[in-house]
Amino acid sequence: MKNTITLILLLCCTIHLHAQQVARFTVKAGAYPYANLPVSCAFDTLVDRENVEMVEIKGKERIVTPFQIEPGKIWFIMTGNTQPGETRLFELQGRKFPAKVIIDLIWSFDTTGALTISEMGKARLQYHSIGVDSIYHRSGFIHPLWAPNGQVLTNIQPKDHLHHYGIWNPFTHTSFQGKEVDFWNMQKKEGRVDFVSFVSKHMGQVFGGFKALQQHMAGKVKAMDEILDVKVYYSGTDASRYTWDYTSTLNCATVEGITLLQYRYGGGFGLRATADWKADNTTLITDAGNTRNNTDSTRARWVKVTGNTAKGRSGMLILCAPDNYDAPQPLRVWDDKAQHGELMLNYSPTKMKWWNLHYGREYQQRYRVVVFDNDLSVAESEAAWQAFAHPPKVTCVLLHGKQ
């Protein structure tokens, strides 16, 4: 706790030391406002993490800023609010004294087959890597997803649909090696999606997460490999919301490839929401202005769901990347009369047309989720999508110690 308090104070204070400069980053905002936005750019320079720090330059002030380096890329947080068209300046500089301890803000812990990502001690989401060899038990899904207030917003294996698993993405109607295969409805015993191994796990000041290898099995034959990349970002000083990314990359396992046939649901991003969300206490809206009872089979750049919980009103905003297959992708959404008013929604890439995947190629689907307490306005939702779809331009200039 003492270390956490010290870190918060460091992030909130300003310093006036002009240490050795390594690189300068200029960020040019777009046409929409941003709040606590993570940004990244290519960065191949080798630096010692303990001997450098990121600062934002505002006049004579140099404000310590969370940053994180992964192979070939650097991340940092544009803390606070960024106005449309605003330019912000950051520098990576040498520390006056090397850091004895680098304290991560986002942690990923894997225990008994469930990897939990937490921010400053608050659990955000959990990924399951161990399943049971039976019809309705599987791995490779996210549950719980927690609201900032700690309320669980997902549901698994409800009695009406035992094959529903929180947040998951199997395709339903496919053609593989001359046979139709259903990876969604596990009771058919045709196909399933399972965790294989973690490719990597991340902890840091900007994001925590993992990359997991999942396999899509058609009986005993592997049809597709999938890399699921999940990143949960540092939320800054706003305790009422946080952001995370869900990226799925598919690769055919056999030379025949696979055809994802047209069907009303499957693949993409599936959500079975908490049973607490019913027709009388939940609202749904898309960027097109559609609501729960007229959203099914419409296309949406974003969809927002808000509902009552025991700890107050919370929800999630799901953003669909513009480079996803057949974007803006169509939605499968239960209306308020289905299944006792409970909610299932699915960004379904093949709802309108089939998708042929070829051997030797990668196929990526990207989604961003903003999880919040209270509510988000339509303007805030649109700004979040714009920041995701059209991130600010980051320009990097290496300084190599120049003053």
Q: What percent of the chain has pLDDT over 90?
A: 81
pLDDT single digits (tens) 24-64: 999 999 999 999 999 999 999 988 888 999 999 999 999 99
Spatial distance between the Cα atoms of 20 and 17, rounded to a whole number of angstroms: 10
Q: What percent of the chain has pLDDT over 70?
A: 93
Q: Find, among 228, 193, 232, the residue nearest to 211 by Cα.
A: 228
Least confident of 67-76, 211-220, 329-338, 393-402: 393-402
Q: pLDDT confidence of 3, banded at 50, 70, 90? A: very low
Q: Tokens 């989720």 — which residue? A: 369
Cα Rg of the chain, angstroms:
22
* Residue type (1 letter), 286: T
Q: pLDDT confidence of 112, banded at 50, 70, 90? A: confident
Looking at residue 7, its pLDDT comes to 42
**Average of per-residue pLDDT values in the chain:** 91
Task: Answer whether 149's CB lies under 8 Å from 311's CB.
Answer: yes
Question: What average pLDDT does the segment 67-77 reach?
Answer: 95
Task: Answer whether 223's CB lies under 8 Å from 217's CB.
Answer: yes
Q: pLDDT confidence of 18, banded at 50, 70, 90? A: very low
pTM for this predicted structure: 0.92
Question: What average pLDDT does the segment 119-127 reach?
Answer: 96
Question: What average pLDDT does the segment 285-289 reach?
Answer: 98
Between the CA of residue 385 and those of 81, 243, 317, 354, 364, what are the distances in Å? Answer: 16, 12, 9, 26, 18
- How many alpha carbons fall within 13 Å on the CB side of residue 299? 11
Residue 16 has pLDDT above 50, yes or no: no
User: Which of the two residues, 220 and 138, has the higher pLDDT score?
Assistant: 220
Spatial distance between the Cα atoms of 213 and 175, rounded to a whole number of angstroms: 22
Task: Answer whether 357's CB lies under 8 Å from 257's CB.
Answer: yes
Task: Answer whether 212's CB lies under 8 Å from 186's CB.
Answer: no
* Residue 112 burial class via C-beta count within 10 angstroms: exposed 0-12, middle 13-18, buried 19 and up: exposed
Residue 174 has pLDDT above 70, yes or no: yes
